Amino acid sequence: MRTNRLFYIFMLLILWLAGTSCIEEFSPDIDDYSDQLVVDGLITNQDEYYEVTLSKTSPLDNMEFRPFEGASVSVEDSDGNTYDFAEVSPGKYQNDNFTGAPGVAYKLHIATPTGKKYESDFQEMPPSVPIDTVYPEIATKPTENPDYDEVGYQFYLSTDDPENEAMYFLWKLEETYEYNADHTLEYTFSGSFEPYPNPTEFFTCWKTNDLKDFYLFDASILNDVNIQELPLNYVNTETKKLSIRYSLLVDQFVLSEQAYEFFRSVQEMNSGDDLFYSTQPYQIEGNITCIDDPEEKVLGQFMVAGKSTNRIFVTRPPDTYFYYEECPINTQGVPFIFNYHPSDYPIYLTLTPNLEMGIVGKGCVDCREHGGSLQPPDFW
């Protein structure tokens, strides 16, 4: 295809230019990794849905999730039990009929619709370690504007294993926050002005995000497994995240050394600023093997880990100015509102502090336009 030819020409040009520098070249063997199986699975000691995601690699010039459908997926434990995973959506396989136990080993089995088989080694579950505390501290960071410093919450974690059995840790984070639309919805216009019966109906939302970054710690270098003041995420006042109430959920995983090394490689890859000279994702293979062809490269990881969680809530930082922009209110456009075409209806209007009517966009009066939900989560 023409697109692929252009891609290869571009790659050759980049590598030729690199030949005159001191940077080590990277020569991607793209064909060797095309259409490969990617596995993402997790078993913990928590009573929760366990999920295995199967997908196929996509080209560098067209990155997308390509689900692998129709597979038979199961997990076998070292006590001789087998647990089948049902495909609940394309490429997503789940089971909620068992709970992992520390000291028990688990093996993942995958069979494709064509009969090809993949499996992991047995992975023994380490014991979980409770999180001692997660807490925020007000922190400032310099900005390009000399008139003010960025302000926000820096979150920290402390944890301790008195048994000194946990050697490798991973933390993943989920944030939830409450926020308001910029303005209340006072009127709509669809040929005539109509007062909106409930101006705050779409004013307050809650939004949940899985944070991209994860955190690792190698405790094998410590005499005592006592981790203090480990920095997690930083949330500033340049957005609405801290404007009302913010919650951080921390999942702590105790890993095997093999799983730790896998995630360390992923972390190093993601920290690279240069696409062509940083570590490439093609080089990171996990613990899945193709039984029919051991030379086949399989990406991803089947992880068995001891898990513990901690959720905290914080409110708006006191005496702190927020720097996010609010939607402008177009009061001057109201006299000309009858010139709008019906295809623009409905037109949304709010009131200024001086009770002057003004036109705003839908996202200014409907918080759902920014990805949130009108219903608070159960834990809120």
Q: What is the pLDDT of residues 124-140, one digit of tens each?
A: 999 999 999 999 999 99
* CB of 277 closer than 8 Å to CB of 345: no
Tokens 């064509």 belong to residue: 114
The model's pLDDT over 326-363, given as tens digits with 9 standing for 90+, comes to 999 999 999 999 999 999 999 999 999 999 999 999 99
List strands edge to edge, sheet with 131-141.
Answer: 131-141, 150-161, 225-236
* CB of 171 closer than 8 Å to CB of 250: yes
The model's pLDDT over 243-299, given as tens digits with 9 standing for 90+, comes to 999 999 999 999 999 999 999 998 888 765 443 333 344 457 789 999 999 999 999
The model's pLDDT over 24-73, given as tens digits with 9 standing for 90+, comes to 444 445 455 568 899 999 999 999 999 999 999 876 566 678 899 999 99
- A 10 A CB-CB count for 221 gives 7
Strands 299-304 and 37-43: parallel
Coil, strand, or helix at residue 128?
coil
Strands 92-95 and 117-120: unpaired
State whether the Cα torsion 42-212-209-366 is positive or negative.
Answer: negative
pLDDT at 63: 67
| Stated pTM of the model | 0.84
* CB of 331 closer than 8 Å to CB of 355: no
- DSSP per-residue codes, 195-226: E-S-TTTTTEEEEEEEEEEEEEEEGGG-SSEE
pLDDT at 342: 96
- Burial of residue 364 (CB within 10 Å: 0-12, 13-18, 19+) is buried
Least confident segment among 78-82, 132-136, 144-148: 144-148
Taking all residues of the chain, what is their mean pLDDT, rounded to a whole number?
88
Please give the span between the terminal C-alpha atoms of the chain, in angstroms, as a whole number: 52
Rounded Cα distance between 116 and 363, Å, is 49
